[in-house]
Amino acid sequence: MEQYEILEQIGKGTFGSALVVKHKHEKKKYVLKKIRLAHQTNRTRRVEAIKKTNGVHFPKEVGRS
């Protein structure tokens, strides 16, 4: 985060906020989504874990459809 300068907050929700930031060296602006992990529910954690493994190939896997 040290390489970014926060310019403004453009959104805020239950799990975090959206910020406009500027990269200090590139001088480009980006939108950064800042998520408060402490507020995630068990269901949200499970959904995120599934998203991360979606499309992962396991070489010895049997019967995945």
The average pLDDT across 13-36 equals 90
Collect all residues with Cβ–Cβ distance below 8 Å to 41 and sequence separation of at least 6: none
- pLDDT attached to residue 8: 96
Share of the chain above pLDDT 90, in %: 42
Residues forming beta bridges with residue 34, ordered by sequence position? 17
Q: How far is CA 57 from CA 47, 62, 65, in A?
A: 18, 11, 12
Among the listed residues 29, 33, 35, 32, the one whose alpha carbon sits nearest the alpha carbon of residue 14: 35
- pLDDT attached to residue 39: 65
Q: Is 33 annotated as a binding residue?
A: yes
